Chain A
């Protein structure tokens, strides 16, 4: 089972919502679409499902062109961010409904519904209506309906975004397990980099209707091809600074460190947790102005101003620091990416390359 997108484009009212996109998803793969809202995740997913038709390009399923095919004939399953079930049917009938439409024998339907319900821990609620369930249970019903169908392509559009924190954690742990068992191609849209990392598989990062990079999730995270990908795949967003490299030495404020790139202007990028308040052996000092702090229990976010750039630092523990004051931070150059003038990656962070 493979899904391939060839130069797929979607324009609405003369505006490009999805720029020409090529993607190939292998059998039994987990694919995460990662991007901020309005980056085209949902549009791309609707094109994959067949709910919308591309302006140009082809969609191939098992090597067969299915571009203009009706959504009913595509044999896909989809779960939305909102908890979408059929309110007038019981949970059992909800899960069974796609199977009934496929004219699966009654005994087989019953077996699959009960099996999926057990996996989603819905067995005690089979006779209830979806609206009598909690949000998490409603979303599990929607997931169960998508899984019981046995579709080769399962599309999950931010399925956990509307759930509370604890339920989200719980379902997020379950989804890879369910995915393993099903053998289908999963496509999972999310805005959270952390979620992409937890799900594993492959990640496609999206930015303003373009897939900026597609590959194994850890690889995309550690070696983003360009600054945009790095920004999308960092939460809090990656910190950037224009720097100059002279005679193989990068200069940021007073700090100097050796890099193996040709001399010139670069943009240095580093992630929030790599800014620390304590000196470590290879770290270089940077002075920034503290704008505000946010304390999230065990960690402290530092919002910093460095010249014209806004940086975010994430340090462990609760720190009470006076805003407005200059602050010395330490950055290990091993965690610094260099992007050239076109935004392409010039040098991955040595620490990421080693991992």
Chain B
């Protein structure tokens, strides 16, 4: 019996190890490449860097055309997350607390925005933003991403808000809380994990979205993903620097996931996501 249990333990450990290494291989290979020289990457096959070097990272962190990509990306991602939440919080509250003409249709229509691929909107956004002088600004990308993130945030937050009994709102009004004060002091702490989950999804979408951000920018607000895809020098691809850029691009997402991991678990359990 004990032997059986032990062998089963080994079995699941083995499966888990295989699965995790399968998932981690591309990431490992990226890190591996980022620590090699171009000569080593193209010339030999090695499972680990033979002459580890941080030159690739040094290039990125000292060259403005590289590191400004991160700065630009972060600026519009943070703008977008803040905007999306600022818009979605009141909207989700309305959807969760009030019945109004066409509320269900409106909610569905919001969600359908998520179903269209970003490419559909690239052209109209490009033309519109060029016409009104928003082209190549951070706010342009942030606003464009709102089209996808606001519906998602509304959907997530609505689920969380509907989990809070309406009587809490009413008790607060009876106690003398004005609406804004109630919302910030009492309601938002109650749905903090929902806000965390919504912020996470907005951040991640905006961070990885390439098509719109590349179409709507040229120089001043060029995101890191665009910088990476455009880096082809006369001597061919700079493999090492690209790999280092890739590693640095994964980092913010990994950090955000680390901070909100508890909320996410809760979010999947409690909210409707």
Q: What is the interface of chain A, defined by CB distance below 8 A to chain B?
A: 49, 51, 71-72, 74, 76-78, 80, 82, 84, 86-89, 97-98, 101-102, 142, 145, 149
Q: Are A80 and B171 in contact, CB atoms less than 8 angstroms apart? A: yes
Instruction: For A51, list chain B residues within 8 Å (CB).
Output: 170, 173-174
Contact check, B177 vs A72: say whether CB atoms are below 8 A apart: yes
| Binary per-residue interface labels of chain B (166-179) against chain A in the complex, 1 for a CB within 8 Å, 0 otherwise | 01101111111110
Task: Give Cα distance in the complex from A71 to B165, angstroms.
Answer: 18
Chain B neighbourhood of A86, CB < 8 A? 168, 172, 186
* Interface residues of chain A: helix, strand, loop or mixed (majority): mixed
Q: Closest chain B residue to A46 by CB distance?
A: B170
CB-based contact A71/B174 at 8 Å: yes
B170 touches A98 (CB 8 A): no
> CB-CB < 8 A to B176: which residues of A?
72, 98, 101-102
CA distance A82 to B171 in the complex (A): 11
Chain B min CB distance to A261 (Å): 49
Residue from A78, A88, A89, A102 within 8 A of B174 (CB atoms): A78
By CB atoms of chain A within 10 A, which of B171, B172, B173, B190 has the most? B171
C-alpha spacing A145/B175, complex, angstroms: 9
Nearest CB to that of A142 among chain B residues? B171
Pairs of residues from A and B, 9 with the lowest C-beta to C-beta distance, nearest first: A88-B189, A101-B176, A98-B175, A84-B167, A71-B173, A78-B174, A80-B167, A84-B171, A72-B176
Q: Is the CB of B165 within 8 A of A82?
A: yes
**Contact present for A84 and B174 (CB under 8 Å):** no
Q: Is the CB of B190 within 8 A of A88?
A: yes
| Contact present for A97 and B175 (CB under 8 Å) | yes
B171: A residues at CB distance < 8 A: 78, 80, 84, 142
Q: What's the minimum C-beta distance from B239 to chain A, rounded to whole angstroms?
A: 51
Q: Is the CB of B190 within 8 A of A49?
A: no
Please give, as numbers and ranges, the residues of chain A lying within 8 Å of B190 by CB-CB distance: 87-88
Given known contacts A82-B165, A84-B165, A84-B167, A77 and B174 CB-to-CB distance under 8 angstroms:
yes
User: Can you report 12 residue pairs joining A to B where beta carbons are below 8 Å apart?
Assistant: A51-B173, A78-B174, A84-B167, A84-B168, A86-B168, A86-B172, A88-B190, A98-B175, A101-B176, A101-B177, A102-B176, A142-B171
Distance of A111 from chain B, by nearest CB (Å)? 19
Count contacts on B: residues with CB < 8 A to the other chain: 15
Given that A86-B186, A88-B190 are known contacts, is A49 also in contact with B174, CB under 8 Å in the complex?
yes
- Minimal Cβ-Cβ distance residue in A for B171: A84
The CA-CA distance from A87 to B173 in the complex, in Å, is 16
Whether the Cβ atoms of A72 and B178 lie closer than 8 Å is yes
Q: How far is it, in angstroms, between the C-alpha of A149 and the C-alpha of B190 when the chains are bound?
A: 23
Contacts of B186 in A (CB 8 A): 86, 88-89
| Chain A nearest CB, measured from B40 CB (Å) | 55
**What is the chain A residue whose CB lies nearest that of B192?**
A88
Chain A nearest Cβ from B236, distance in angstroms: 57
- For window 157-197 of B, CB contacts with A under 8 Å fall at 165, 167-168, 170-178, 186, 189-190
A101 near B175 (CB under 8 angstroms)?
yes
CB distance from B159 to the nearest CB of A (A): 18
State in angstroms the CA–CA spacing of A227 and B170 once bound together. Answer: 36
Nearest chain-A residue to B174 (Cβ)? A78
Closest chain A residue, CB of each to CB of B170: A51
Do B178 and A82 touch (CB < 8 A)? no
Do residues B167 and A72 form an inter-chain contact, with CB atoms below 8 A? no
Least CB distance, B176 to chain A, in whole angstroms: 4
**Chain B residue contacts of A74, Cβ below 8 A:** 174
Q: A102 vs B178: C-alpha distance in the bound complex, in angstroms?
A: 12
Report if A72-B165 is in contact (Cβ < 8 Å); known contacts: A86-B186, A87-B190, A88-B190. Answer: no
Provide the residues of chain A in CB contact with B167, threshold 8 Å: 80, 82, 84
Of B170, B173, B174, B186, most buried by chain A (CB within 10 Å of CB) is B174
Tell me the bound Cα distance from A145 to B168 in angstroms. Answer: 13
Nearest CB of chain A from residue B14's CB, rounded to whole Å? 42
Bound: A82/B178 CA distance, A:
22
Give complex CA distance A97, B190 in Å: 16
Tell whether, in the assembled complex, residue B173 and residue A72 are in contact, meaning their CB atoms are under 8 Å apart. yes
Complex-state Cα separation, A88 to B165, whole angstroms: 14
**Which residues of chain A are within 8 angstroms of B165 by Cβ–Cβ distance?**
82, 84
Which residues on B sit within 8 Å (CB–CB) of A87? Answer: 190
- The closest CB in chain B to the CB of A80 belongs to B167
**Whole-angstrom CA separation of A287 from B190 in the bound complex:** 61
Report chain B residues within 8 Å CB of A72: 173-174, 176-178
Nearest-neighbour CB distance to chain A for B193, whole angstroms, equals 12
Using CB atoms, name the residue of chain A closest to B172.
A86
CA distance A88 to B185 in the complex (A): 9
**Which of chain B's residues has its CB closest to A77's CB?**
B174
CA distance A149 to B170 in the complex (A): 16
Contacts of A89 in B (CB 8 A): 186
Hey, which chain B residues are within 8 Å of A71, CB to CB?
Answer: 170, 173-174
Q: Which residues of chain A have C-beta atoms less than 8 A from B174's C-beta?
A: 49, 51, 71-72, 74, 76-78
Q: Which of A76, A97, A102 has the most CB of B within 10 A?
A: A97
Query: What is the bound-complex CA distance between A71 and B179, given in angstroms?
Result: 11
**Minimum C-beta distance from A104 to chain B (A):** 11
For the complex, what is the distance from the CA of A142 to the CA of B172, rounded to whole Å?
12
Q: What 6 additional pairs, Cβ within 8 angstroms, besides A71-B174, A72-B176, A98-B176? A: A72-B173, A78-B170, A80-B171, A87-B190, A89-B186, A101-B177
